[in-house]
Structure 1
Amino acid sequence: MYISRLALNVRRPEAIRLLSSPYRMHAAVENAFPPDACRASDEGRILWRIDSSPSPTNKTWLYVVSHDRPDFSHIAEQCGWPTTSTGETKDYSPVLGRLDAGQVWRFRLKANPARKVLVDQGRDLNPKVVGTVQGCVTMSQQMDWLLNRAEDHGFRVASGSDGSPILTVSQRHTERYERKKKRVTITTAMYDGILTVSDPDLLRHALCFGMGRAKGFGCGLLTVSPVS
């Protein structure tokens, strides 16, 4: 597995066009790999995420996790700084291999926090009850979404001295797109915090396969970094 990133020049028209549409960005990421490249395997799948760093760096990055090494030259040519950088790619194995229970890491995750709600559609004595997926829209719902799923993905969100989780939720948006003449609505949020590894294998799976829904829309990519 590889983890890669490419700085995007948000002043360039093509970068603005890609960033305004997850469909276009998804297609650009797909085109970073040859047609016969592995999109998903037992080791992982293609995941991507857009990160906007606060000032003073004020940079926007495209992060990608993939089975094969990507070629970002086409994106850099139109959306980046092609004369100075065509992206950075690193072997993910050293990070994945050294995960161990009890370790503490800083993490970031862009997710589509959603829940399944049962809806009664019956009109007789034996009503049919079906599930519909609804976005978690409040701050409390979005925090609970991650806290309730963390253990299933091999980690716990660490707590501060006051017992509250070391977790912030930002960039909370409800995004609407048109797809095949249908409106698609996706709730997204960026999670930043500190985690403690509880199950290294489950966490490795989360890092390589993502968390939650809407991975094609740039959600699901979880990354970890040392706590400084």
Structure 2
Amino acid sequence: MTLWNSSRKGGKLFISRVPLNGARRTALEIMASPNKMHGAVEAAFAPVPDCDFLSACQSGQDFAEGRILWRIDRAPGEGRGAWLYVVSPKRPDFTHLCEQMGWPVEGGWETKDYEPFLKKIGERQRWQFRLKANPVRKVFVDKGSRSDKDVIGTIQGHVTVEQQMQWLLDRAEAHGFRILEDPMGNLQFQVGQREKSSFSHAGSRATLTTAVFDGALEVIDREALCHVLRFGMGRAKAFGCGLMTLAPLP
């Protein structure tokens, strides 16, 4: 099977930003379910002739330029407002999403070619970052207060702040960056919006542990970090995890 854009040289990656209206009941219902939100994002991409783009999206298929990643950022000081960020190897059409979850009368969304920004990233550069992730571990030893042999070999979410912060620190170097320190030697990042959600998926209940990391980093391996920006970091990418974004330091 030939996937859309998988063999085309010089393909583009796009980044989009969509304002969401949290005062609308439909918006709240969709945002509350990672599975429904996944479907809403997926619907922004029309089928391409002689290709199975949407099936690839559903299975988490990666393309040459990157994969579909998305994240909802709550907007501080804007009541129930939020922003949906999407990185994709195909230009999206969010008309349906704006009609259901946004402010259609005020215009729609922004989509930009992501490649010029990615080409500017270089080693030793310093950036602000935000990452929503699914920090998890594979269980080898049952440390629970009640013995449960069924937990051995399963994937479980990290639940404490310390565990979640260490999860990111353990992976930073391999993903092309290091967390900066302040003059006192304190690491410049924090974890917030720590949530555990349960939702229907594939006929059963799924549980998702998420955390949002904000901080400052230095690029130590440009290719590795750009791979993160294109393909995401960690698990549960279909459900709004894995998308890292960068911004200039103040």
1:104 maps onto 2:126 in alignment: yes
Partner of 2:242: 220
Aligned with 2:99: secondary structure? Answer: helix
Which 10-residue stretch deviates more, 141-150 or 13-22?
13-22
Aligned with 1:97: secondary structure? Answer: helix
Residues 119 and 132, structure 1, Cα contact 8 Å, conserved in 2:
no
Partner of 2:10: none
Of 34, 49, 54, 2:76 maps to: 54
Find the aligned partners of 1:93 and 1:184 in 2 and give their Cα distance.
35
Residues 73 and 86, structure 1, Cα contact 8 Å, conserved in 2:
yes
Of 182, 198, 208, 2:220 maps to: 198
Residue 118 to residue 28, structure 1, CA distance change in 2 (3 Å): same
1:178 maps onto 2:190 in alignment: no
The one-letter code sitting in structure 2 at the alignment partner of 1:206 is V
Find the aligned partners of 2:200 and 2:45 in 1 and give their Cα distance.
26
Aligned with 1:3: secondary structure? Answer: strand
Residue 57 to residue 88, structure 1, CA distance change in 2 (3 Å): farther
Residues 174 and 188, structure 1, Cα contact 8 Å, conserved in 2:
yes
Residue 176 to residue 95, structure 1, CA distance change in 2 (3 Å): same
Question: What 5-or-longer segments of structure 2 have no aligned partner?
Answer: 1-12, 143-151
Question: What 5-or-longer segments of structure 1 have no aligned partner?
Answer: 121-129
For residues 9-38 of structure 1, give each alpha carbon's deviation from its aligned partner in whole angstroms, at most 9, with x where no partner exists. Answer: 111121112111111111110010012347
The one-letter code sitting in structure 1 at the alignment partner of 2:238 is G
1:8 maps onto 2:45 in alignment: no
Partner of 1:143: 165
The one-letter code sitting in structure 2 at the alignment partner of 1:158 is L
Aligned with 2:111: secondary structure? Answer: strand
Residues 157 and 195, structure 1, Cα contact 8 Å, conserved in 2:
yes
Find the aligned partners of 2:19 and 2:214 in 1 and give their Cα distance.
20
Corresponding pairs, count: 220
Of 153, 177, 199, 1:155 maps to: 177
TM-score of the two chains, using structure 2 as the length reference: 0.84
Residue 85 to residue 57, structure 1, CA distance change in 2 (3 Å): farther
Aligned with 1:118: secondary structure? Answer: coil
